[in-house]
Structure 1
Amino acid sequence: MMKTINIYKKIGGVLFTGLIMLSSCSDYLTTLPTNSLVSDGAISTPEDTKTALNGAYAGLISARTDDVTYYYYGMDFLARAEVGGDDTQTNKIGDRTENYYRFTYRQNNAPQDLWYPPYAVINRVNVLLDAIDKGEVPMNDVVKNSKGEALAIRALAHFNLLITYGTPYLKDNGASLGVPVVKTVLTATDLPSRSTVAEGYQAVLDDLSDALGLISEEKNYGHFNRWGVKALLARVNLYKGDYDAAYSYAKDVVENGPYSLIDNADYLTVWGQEENNESIFDLALSSTSYSGDRELWGAVVSPSEYGAVVATKAFVDLLNEDPDDVRLGLLVADKNGTERTINKYPGRGSVTINNVRVLRLSDIYLIGAEAALKKASPDQDLADEYLYQIRHRANPNVTKIDATLDLIAKERRKELVLEGHRLYDVLRQGAEITRQGGSHFLNGNDLITVKWSDYRTVMPIPQAEIDANPNILQNPEYN
């Protein structure tokens, strides 16, 4: 039976008091505070702000409470976006990602992994920001940068909640309900209601705008910097339909940032490395903290462990349109010997240890290309060039072609598969995909045709949250 948690009681009753002070830094980084309180002045030095940030970053991977671990970027956020699309699928009945694949979650069985960890992270960030804003930490460049990182993390968490539990912005210009926007440390009596999607997006953009004026542009692997904030601004504005802004931020990152596309010759090997030239913002999984955790995405995907996620026939056919595409080399044998496992998570010493690529340069090239065609005054030349750079890296023999939205969407599928984008790309554009044939095992009660008009493409809010907070309304049609 699935364990449920009341996020408001956890935040209001315990988490609102702040971050747990544990005896060792490594424990602090991986343990979610649930039943210990922070003493006054726990965040009082610049170094404390850095430690608090490390806890927030760790929470983006997974969160633990009452001896249960809830996975976020560690598994569930990626799984839903991937097997809910048309490029990957759950391998067989009974595998771990089956409910996301079949869209069978309802209010009474909705997982907490997409709801609880981001709010726990937001709470950690709010505790840190509260200490900084109250002057409990002497302001210097370190603290200023920590505040910028904290705002970026909060923006990312709120944005992901919005695209999970709210309808796509462009469906109704953000008029429908999104999620509670939490920018203060909650008390036990606080029962926030859902803001609109538009209000949520504005809160995200406000945080990112504020972060730009605070955060350093220096690389610090596993952390946001100014370039990471700009990359996230490009993504958020693309989803919002502000294509001029998305174009501007993407162009800035591509042309002025300290990143470069992976070379063709290195493409197949970089996935087993900690960092690469395209890493704008990765979540770093350490071997000491996560080795052997078989619920992480790498183990869920790997044929040597669960092998629960495989490429669809449609995607394999898509890659095979160009026999010289380097990305074909990512297809390796699944448990049955068929080359349909996408080997982006080979592990570093263990298949569980794979850093999560949250923002990488290839994505920003493709955001820039799409936004260039959709903005008020289209920039065909830039769209052509950015699309060419991704295609040329995949096959150095290709020539430049006229970019179209269909070609860019196809390239996003090829390039970003298994990284947590496909379902959201379909929904944000009001597109439609049908998942039939090949090895699909969906039946008439499952969601075969995925489109934003189907209520199942927006996750139900877990029952525990509905029970705990009378101000929370469930998404339409769930019961």
Structure 2
Amino acid sequence: MKKLIKNNLKKYILWALIPTALFQACKSESGLYPVPETSISDQNVFDTPARIEGLVNGIYRRLKTASLYGGRYLLYQDVRGEDFLNVTLNSFTAFDSWNNSYSSGSNDINNLWSEAYATINSANIVIHGLNNTAVIPEATAAAYIGEAKLLRALSYFSLVTVFAQPYTRDQGASPGLPLRLQAETGTENNDLARSTVREIYTQILQDLDDAEQALPDNYATALLNTTRAHKNTATALKTRVYLTIGNIEKVLEEAAKIVPQTTAPFAAQRGVNHQLQTDIQVVFGGNYTTTESIFSMPMTATDALSGQSALGYVYLVNREYYVNPAGILGDDFWGAKDSRRAFLQANGERHYLRKYAKASPYVDYIPVIRYAEVLLNYAEAAAENGQLALATSLVEAVHRRSDASFTISPAVSGNKSNLLNTIALERRIELLGEGLRGNDLLRKLQALPAKGDATIQTPQVEATAQNYIFPPPNTELATNTLFR
């Protein structure tokens, strides 16, 4: 295996180490701005601690590319729902996702697939390489492998939730994705049949379990606690994954690890002391590294996406989508006194999302998961399990942060169906623009809603329709003869 890893890696290694400095997720503060290595032999890639760390940083950097968690994956998921209306018909800014009209040749489809699998392979290279080196201490190697497994799990989750049938349709029996777990340095192993959706989720959860055991409790700074995976990152992501596959008992089990209380205020008691911030405005633009932000993609003036790749450009600067007045914006549940309305910028009769409000360079951090989502995941699972008092307390905590006068009525708190509907509305307000809406619809096997205005409309897509999920990319169809 060591020979496999070292052969033909020069292109990947050069990319990974030039320059990972400004991806603010290095192990130490001094590592944020190192002098980049610009020449390295593929024969000694795992031979120094610095080079190994550079490879780990490279996985994060790959995840932060435009088509993944740099922002576009969030955009694809959000505009599939009913809360954004398209203005420009611009295929470069996810119109085909909004319109549910992707083809196998779409750039979005092929770029998302290729970048996610490139991230997965970067993780595989690190995992296999560290299993064959003694250059760094065993505990350090284990933690690095934990990071690689978490990022691999997140990449597979990003793919399976859009390219495969929802797990809840048939308990994961549908065809899923090629499950690539080996470090590939050439094209000889391109041919690989799909694993089932269940098998993909089994691997995702195994990776997250392994990561939780191997990762540190925390890091030395708030910056690293936000941009580098730790134990609570793995646990938080497990609440999302288990909710997606409908395993309510496991959502409750995982959430209780970092939300040990049954009444507000809620806060993690192990590792990073995650908790809601008093003012949600701080989380977006005030301080990106509060304890509410469990995992985010960092941006700096010299290391940020630009133009049509940046969420701030798409939503606010170029105003390609506005918040649907007939969607969550027009629902009475989102009260006029709710401070989250400050995330809306009026322009005439339209309101545009300003969660990503920094102008070019677009240096707003991109959230992957926040403590608020964990509370809402927990609330939904608790309600499904009949723990209505706990569910009520959790959702009230999230809403009251932005509207102190909010109270759930007994008619809602005492009725499972009503409470689940309230939690669903709360998710659409709290997590607006954070890439959750598409998956929330699919995991519940709900239709993708019709939406539009007098200029542009798109019809409802039923859960049985072919375009309910993304089509397979031409790049995979052309190179993988077993992918069918």
TM-score (norm 1): 0.85
3-state DSSP of counterpart to 1:248: helix
Name which of 355, 358, 363 aligns with 1:344: 355
3-state DSSP of counterpart to 1:289: coil
Match status 1:326 vs 2:339:
yes
The answer for the alignment partner of 1:65 in structure 2 is none
How many residue pairs align between the two structures?
437
RMSD: 2.6
**Which moved further from structure 2: 17-26 or 272-281?**
17-26
Q: In the alignment, residue 87 of structure 1 is paired with which amino acid?
A: D
The answer for the alignment partner of 1:5 in structure 2 is none
Match status 1:133 vs 2:131:
yes
3-state DSSP of counterpart to 1:430: coil
Match status 1:289 vs 2:313:
no
Name which of 15, 19, 33 aligns with 2:13: 19
Pairing of 1:9-408 with structure 2 (within 5 A): 18-20=12-14, 24-26=18-20, 39-62=42-65, 71-94=67-90, 96-109=93-106, 111=108, 112-186=110-184, 187-190=186-189, 191-219=191-219, 220=224, 221-255=226-260, 256-257=268-269, 258-263=273-278, 266-273=279-286, 274-290=288-304, 292-302=306-316, 304=317, 306-313=318-325, 314-318=327-331, 321-334=334-347, 337-347=348-358, 350=360, 352-375=362-385, 378-401=386-409, 402=413, 404-408=419-423
Answer whether contact 2:20 2:54 (CA < 8 A) is retained.
no
Cα deviation code 1:218-252 (max 9, x no counterpart): 04231111000000111111111111111121222
Answer whether contact 1:73 1:356 (CA < 8 A) is retained.
yes
Shift of residue 90 of structure 1?
A: 1.8
**Which moved further from structure 2: 456-465 or 107-116?**
107-116
Q: In the alignment, residue 433 of structure 2 is paired with which amino acid?
A: L
Cα deviation code 1:386-411 (max 9, x no counterpart): 01101211210122441611110010
Q: In the alignment, residue 213 of structure 1 is paired with which amino acid?
A: Q
- Distance (whole Å) between structure 2 residues aligned to residue 37 and residue 116 of structure 1: 25
- Distance (whole Å) between structure 1 residues aligned to residue 192 and residue 469 of structure 2: 20
- Distance (whole Å) between structure 1 residues aligned to residue 203 and residue 169 of structure 2: 19
- Distance (whole Å) between structure 1 residues aligned to residue 139 and residue 373 of structure 2: 30
Shift of residue 78 of structure 1?
A: 1.2
Shift of residue 440 of structure 1?
A: 6.5
3-state DSSP of counterpart to 1:345: coil
- Distance (whole Å) between structure 1 residues aligned to residue 135 and residue 162 of structure 2: 35
Q: Percent sequence identity over matched residues?
A: 25
The answer for the alignment partner of 1:469 in structure 2 is 480
Shift of residue 432 of structure 1?
A: 2.9
- Distance (whole Å) between structure 1 residues aligned to residue 465 and residue 361 of structure 2: 36
Cα deviation code 1:286-341 (max 9, x no counterpart): 22122645521121112x3x21121111222026741111111211024xx33411
Q: In the alignment, residue 415 of structure 1 is paired with which amino acid?
A: E
- Distance (whole Å) between structure 2 residues aligned to residue 222 and residue 251 of structure 1: 23
Answer whether contact 2:56 2:144 (CA < 8 A) is retained.
yes
Q: In the alignment, residue 113 of structure 2 is paired with which amino acid?
A: W
- Distance (whole Å) between structure 1 residues aligned to residue 198 and residue 350 of structure 2: 43
Relative to structure 1, the CA distance from residue 441 to residue 179 in structure 2 (aligned partners, 3 Å threshold; closer, same or farther) is: same
**Which moved further from structure 2: 86-95 or 173-182?**
86-95
Pairing of 1:434-445 with structure 2 (within 5 A): 434-436=449-451, 438=453, 441-442=456-457
- Distance (whole Å) between structure 1 residues aligned to residue 46 and residue 113 of structure 2: 26
Q: In the alignment, residue 46 of structure 1 is paired with which amino acid?
A: P
Gaps of 5+ in 2: 25-38, 261-267
- Distance (whole Å) between structure 2 residues aligned to residue 319 and residue 339 of structure 1: 18
Shift of residue 214 of structure 1?
A: 0.7
- Distance (whole Å) between structure 1 residues aligned to residue 452 and residue 234 of structure 2: 41
3-state DSSP of counterpart to 1:369: helix
Relative to structure 1, the CA distance from residue 425 to residue 278 in structure 2 (aligned partners, 3 Å threshold; closer, same or farther) is: same
Gaps of 5+ in 1: 1-10, 31-35, 63-69, 474-479
TM-score (norm 2): 0.84
- Distance (whole Å) between structure 2 residues aligned to residue 14 and residue 117 of structure 1: 20
- Distance (whole Å) between structure 1 residues aligned to residue 178 and residue 244 of structure 2: 19
